[in-house]
Chain A
Amino acid sequence: MSTDASHEVRPAVDSTAGRAPRTANEAGQQPGPKDGLRRKGLSERNRPLWMLIPGGVLMIIIIVVPLLLGIYMSILNLDQYTLRKWVSAPIIGAENFVEAVTNSPLLHAVWLSVSYSLLAMVVTLPLGIAAAVATQNAFKGRAVIRSIFLIPYVLPSFVVATVWRTMLQPGGIVDEALSTVGIHVGLWLNGPQTFWTLVLVQIWASWPFIYLLALSGLQSVDHEVHEASALDGALWWNKLRYVIFPYLKGPLALAFLIGMLHHINNFTLPFVLFGVPAPTDVEVLPILTYVTSFQSFRFGLSAAMAFISLVLIAIPLFVYLRAVKLDDADTPGAKK
């Protein structure tokens, strides 16, 4: 989110910074490169950085301290026997990490989490874009349709999962409906198919998010652009492909990133759908860390698992961030 804020601030900074160096130059000091001056202008030095303090303190309390505590926990032998005096729990170094990698379903869980998130993302992207394009032009009842589209997004995850679980029960409404047309799918909530159940419900719950961001991208397209492409005689697909889609790249890249992280972190959906112990085919990361912490009471081990998964996910995330330049505030207009 910090990237957004810096983009909002930039124009103001640029405009003042743009004026200030000129006065400095006119005064005949520091003939150095103009760009460098622009960067380190007077008004930039006077930026009220102290205003970051409240936010910074909150970040430290809410993010940095728990993160450090989590890392510290991961080298402790912390379980129900040592929890009470957890500060003095025995330090066992890397043992938790070794156990997490070699003797726990962690890697399987990482694989499940990433593949399920990716699958759900790949399906929701075209769905969301199509829905956004379909409701772009005004028509009678558009407001109603748009509101309906948002229902899965505003429903709490818990409600979504509970309703789906009820529908997917053996002999439930989904089975009944499918069997009237002669399809017998088998178990939804147990066994190998659970993975696909999870993907399906995740798609249902999360496509409106893509739709929302795609819609915001579409609305940033100037009216003139539509007119110009119409004058040039572009047909709808060419217009969509070469004129409109480039506008969507930014918002959709952001949607992809946030969506993936959200799926990988989604605990409520698999927990409510399948319960614990979960079928092995949906033992995703959050479920695994939860069970390790709160069913087996291996707090140290689960902290190690969480840390490993943090690192595993942070690497591609970092590469990705550099690639789409969402984190790049130094290059003006990088987001385009």
Chain B
Amino acid sequence: MRFKSTTGLAAIVTAAALALTGCGSSSGNGGGSTSSDGKVDGTGKTLSVLVNVSSQYPEQQKQWQSDIAAKFKAETGADVKFETFASANDELTRIQTSVVSGQGPDVYSLGTTFTPTAFATKAFVTLSDDDWNKVGGKDRFNPATLGISGPDKDHLAGIPFVSRPFVMAYNKDLLAAAGIDKPATSWDDLAAQAKKMTKDGTYGIATGYKDSFDPWKFIWAMSVQAGNPLVDGNKLKMDDPTVKKAYETYFGWLTNDKVVDPASIGWSNSNAVAAFASGKAGYLMMTTSSSIPTLDKSAVAGKYEYALMPTIAPGQTQSKSDGDAASILSGDNLVVADYSKQKDLAFAYIKLITSKDEQLNYQKTFGDLPANAEALATLTDAKLKPVADAAAKSKATPFTGAWGDIQLGLLNVTVQSIPDLAAGKVDESALDTRIKDAQNKGQASLDRASKG
């Protein structure tokens, strides 16, 4: 058994869960009686909610949770029990156990790119019109945020909670000193501007090549902007020249343009934020509004602005994508477990935390943009304007259960290229091989998805 640690563990968990629950699952839709005015009475019940632990604001998160629990209790009489997961892997394990055993949290908070995978398990409620009304109506949400809630607009499982679109931050002083009057809107311009700012230990661009997510987001964005959405029906188009061009551009910042710190091959996104915060970088790529609290306490406080990331693909003069694809559609969705016996209570909870006031309150504490359209419209902070813009110009990643594998493949090309990056040159044939490998694995995964 020692050899089979992970699988063995999964099997143990599975077996234990089965044994404990006796495969219990029912399709009960109760969860407190609903009175005529739409209020759910959940007296004596406890709703279980699984959320991402906030490593950045742990204290505030606890405070927010206890506040919300009190409000929910006042409204429905039911308690809320929050459980947290520390990483995506952690979350996945919880979901798998719950999916197999048919018991666990009632409400899950999922990252947007993970929503298709979760949807593929069919373990979460696809909302009916009636269900949408119970969470306050589909109209209360910013329409763009619904883009990755389901495979099409009639089959939506994810209820948007917050938007976290990606933007870039720039150091106003450094740009001005280099004679640049406005941030770049094409990747070519970006590299050119970055070159002007790179000197004496200051670099044009701060980014982390060792991050677990950023690399594939760059490649995805540049490819989509060049007119290749990566997944076309059942075909994966990772062997398209646009993808290679994207990698070359992304790696080129380090190898050709020399506009990023060579140490960034070992950086994650937080290292890049730290470099930018110390005033040593012109642009901070792939960041979100949740960097505001950090940057406002740093050396660049008051000297930085956000801007949309370039939307014109490398080597192009205009965007070839329908819509600008300024960012992946990013943020958190809420899903209700199919096995939950208190779905109405779950919907009531979601209704509460997606209400205008609660969304604004959340934005103030954590920096994430509201998914609630009304709340989004009231944000007037000039700094948030480009972020809100990016939210509107976000584009969903392909909605397929194979996306996890595809994303892993895109990331893996970067991981395996890091030694070449360190040596200062990424060999073209090696890059071709890596891309081809990712294409094959991703295509196999897509094939299974179309059968599944």
Identify the A interface with B (CB < 8 A): 61-63, 65-67, 69-70, 73, 79-84, 86, 169-172, 186-187, 189-192, 261, 264-265, 267, 275, 277-280, 285-286, 289-291, 293-297, 299, 302-303, 305-307, 309-310, 313-314
Contact = CB atoms under 8 A, between A and B. Distances in A.
Contacts of A80: 117, 120-121, 401, 452
A176 to B, nearest CB: 12
Contacts of A81: 120-121, 401, 448-449, 451-452
Nearest to B405: A296
Given A66-B12, A191-B422, A302 B7 contact: yes
A279 B1 contact: no
B89 A286 contact: no
B54 interface: no
A67 B8 contact: yes
A280 B416 contact: yes
B419 A191 contact: yes
B418 interface: yes
Contact of B452 (A79, A169, A278, A302): A79
A297 B95 CA distance: 12
Interface of B: 1-8, 10-12, 14-15, 89, 92-93, 96, 99-100, 117, 120-123, 210, 212, 262-263, 265-266, 401, 404-405, 408, 411-412, 415-416, 418-419, 422, 445, 448-449, 451-452
Given A171-B266, A313-B3, A83 B419 contact: no
Contacts of A302: 6-7
A1 B31 CA distance: 50
Contacts of B15: 61, 65-66, 69
B7 A192 contact: no
8 contacts: A63-B1, A66-B11, A79-B452, A170-B422, A190-B419, A190-B422, A267-B5, A306-B8
Contact of A190 (B1, B8, B11, B418): B418
Contacts of A280: 416
A293 B404 CA distance: 12
B11 A290 contact: no
Contact of A169 (B6, B266, B416): B266
A170 B404 contact: no
A313 B445 CA distance: 30
Nearest to B92: A294
A295 B404 contact: yes
Nearest to A59: B1
A179 B5 CA distance: 39
Contacts of B2: 261, 265
Nearest to B415: A277
